[in-house]
Structure 1
């Protein structure tokens, strides 16, 4: 099931943020500041998906599912498509996988909602963990560059 409140035409349960996905894979293939900057800039555009499987309450509505690091710290799982979220279905313990498709900046800003130390992108396949400080850079309006990351 997909939360589809106020999505523009053409954005549905088959939506994929192809630019963010391509930048993620390029960064994994060549992990350097240039590719990290390109990934962070690509994350700003389009939509991203968050997992809300089994977390809905009548009073508060859907809540984003979180994961924990090996040290017990909060990590925010984010997906570039519903297909990436659905790939986690075997891990959902038989529950129907539910995702909320959100504008990219809104999805990224969830990292500010709690003590998240990082976000993990496309956990079922790419499984890229990106530290909070880099997500906060992606939320700014200035372009992220390799030089600014090195500073």
Structure 2
């Protein structure tokens, strides 16, 4: 059990958005299409980048992998909440975790992996040292408090 005043690891660099399931999100079987999930993940990732990694013209954060695990189907129009947080950070690679849920609980989880790339050469670049340091300091403090 964690301390009540401690911030969970899922709170560092976290973003949260609400999504209204629209009629066009459903496929011919009456289930929310995989394309809707990808759109919601992209909206969360873009919000994350806007808030925590301002873009520079000479570099960009490239998404290289997305893995989605569908927990339960969505069959009706409703509002879902998406939460994204930074779960791992290396020298050039970052990992994001995403949870999509509603009143019935988690409907899907996802993991996205990306790299910071040079815009001209597409070579991987080191992530900003200040961000890396903040992330690992936070992880250390979290482990010490739990």
TM-score (norm 1): 0.25
TM-score (norm 2): 0.26
The higher radius of gyration belongs to: 2
User: Would you tell me which structure has more strand in proportion to its own residues?
Assistant: 2
